[in-house]
Amino acid sequence: MSLLEILVVVSVFSILGILITRSILLTLGGGKKSESLIKIRENLNYSIAVMERQLRNADSIVDCSNSDTVSITYLDQNGIASSFSCVAGSGGLAGYVASGSAKLSSDTVNITNCSFVCASSSGTPSSVTINLEGTDASTRGIENTIVTAKTQIFLRNY
């Protein structure tokens, strides 16, 4: 075998090795992104489900002026005041959605955008539109993804 033949074989195998390594890394990155997406979506859906159940059964919204879109206070069917609020992350901590003093969203999800918009008109029950946006708190770069969730809840007319 000549030196030229050996160099050609080595270069072909190195190109194949590079291509195979890149495809494996892309596959692993896609898997992590999918896991991140599922985790965020489940967390946002859980938070919205809890808020939806509580607000749908609420007697009334305390202040429907939309002066503060990061929190909403309501009276439940027993007349007890309660609230939902968006808490921004600070000092390396992730943002979250809170119900009174408890967290609705997990520490593994960072709530980046959150709003409560109330609409009230005569003849129809009040409605609340909830917008949530979250990212995975532990994933960075191309594997991270932003998930948004939006719902409109109509209060029951007692």
Q: How many helices (H) and strands (E) does the chain have?
A: 1, 8
pLDDT of residue 59: 83
For the beta carbon of residue 13, count every other beta carbon within 10 angstroms.
10
- 40-57 mean pLDDT: 90
pLDDT of residue 140: 75
Mean of pLDDT values over 143-151: 86
Domain that holds residue 139: 3-154
Q: What pLDDT, on a 0 to 100 scale, did the predictor assign at position 22? A: 92
At residue 99 the predicted structure's pLDDT band, cuts being 50, 70 and 90, is: confident
Average pLDDT over residues 121-141: 82
| Whether pLDDT at 25 is above 60 | yes
Sheet strands (E) in the chain: 60-61, 71-75, 81-87, 96-99, 102-103, 109-121, 124-136, 146-154
pLDDT digits (tens, 9 = 90+) for 76-89: 888 888 889 888 87
Q: Which pLDDT score is estimated for 69?
A: 86
Cα gap 77→103, rounded to integer Å:
22
- Give bridge partners of residue 110 from the DSSP assignment: 135
pLDDT over 90 (residue 21): yes
Number of structural domains the chain divides into:
1
